[in-house]
Amino acid sequence: MDESSQTLVEKSFTFEDCGGSQSLTVSIPEVLDPQYGMYVWPCAVVLSQYVWRARRELQHKTVLELGAGVSLPGVVAAKCGARVILSDSAELPLCLRNCRRSCDVNQLPNVPVIGLTWGQVSPELLSLPPVDVILGSDVFYEPEDFEDVLVTVSFIVRRNPHAQLWTTYQERSADWSIDALLLKWDLKCINVPLETFDANKNHLAGSTLPGNHTVQMMIITRQVL
């Protein structure tokens, strides 16, 4: 698609503490395009809520967002003081441009955007700085991608043993499971109840998302044998 012909819609998301003592508003440009990475999906808002609640923990930490697309969680992390790297598939230049666009709209000119294709040990993956937290919103969407995602995560946490993947996923199938793949790649996970970070509601951050979708969150770390 010719970028000049794209239709942009800017959406605002406001994250607040209980009582509204502190808040953060970010704007995300969506592109009316059939590619997944051009919209804010329900999982992104839930993960961003977790990032907002963990903002003190993320101060000065290095955060990598995988499959960033419109980059809502990564933008929130950057606004909260983290050193953020946004990534999406090297094969999806429109998504990479959208990552950059989200940074520009939120006055984040120094956030790097890199092409990182899941499952590939590329120069970009090899040259990553030490990473503390990996963000992944709805990266477990297509079952054929599950192992590629975990290969990339496993590579990063082997180099950074204390790193964690914070990820949200939408329940779409009763057959959805990554348990065997976690075991294969020496990873483990814990589920994070949404009520523990005030994400157990149909409307978050002043938006209509996540609506009635069932979203879950988990933290994946290295399995120490």
Q: Tell me the per-residue pLDDT of 11-70, one tens digit each, with 9 for 90 and over.
A: 999 999 987 789 999 999 987 665 555 789 999 999 999 999 999 999 999 999 999 999
Q: Other C-beta atoms within 10 Å of 171: how many?
A: 10
Among 25-29, 94-98, 211-215, 221-225, the range of highest mean pLDDT: 25-29
Q: Tell me the per-residue pLDDT of 85-104, one tens digit each, with 9 for 90 and over.
A: 999 999 999 889 999 999 99
**Local confidence band at 2 (pLDDT 50, 70, 90 cut-offs):** very low
Average predicted confidence (pLDDT) for the chain: 92
DSSP conformation letters of 89-120:
-TT-HHHHHHHHHHHHHTT-TT--EEE--TT-
In the predicted model, what is the mean pLDDT of residues 75-84? Answer: 98
Quote the longest CA-to-CA distance of the chain: 53
Q: Tell me the per-residue pLDDT of 46-56, one tens digit each, with 9 for 90 and over.
A: 999 999 999 99
The torsion angles phi and psi of 217, rounded to 5 degrees, stand at -130, 145
H or E, element range at 45: helix 42-53
Q: Is the pLDDT of residue 1 over 50?
A: no
In the predicted model, what is the mean pLDDT of residues 70-87? Answer: 97
pTM of the model: 0.94
Q: Tell me the per-residue pLDDT of 142-201, one tens digit each, with 9 for 90 and over.
A: 899 999 999 999 999 999 999 999 999 998 777 778 999 999 999 999 999 999 999 999
**In the structure encoding, which two tokens stand for residue 223, read together?**
């399995």
**Local confidence band at 213 (pLDDT 50, 70, 90 cut-offs):** confident
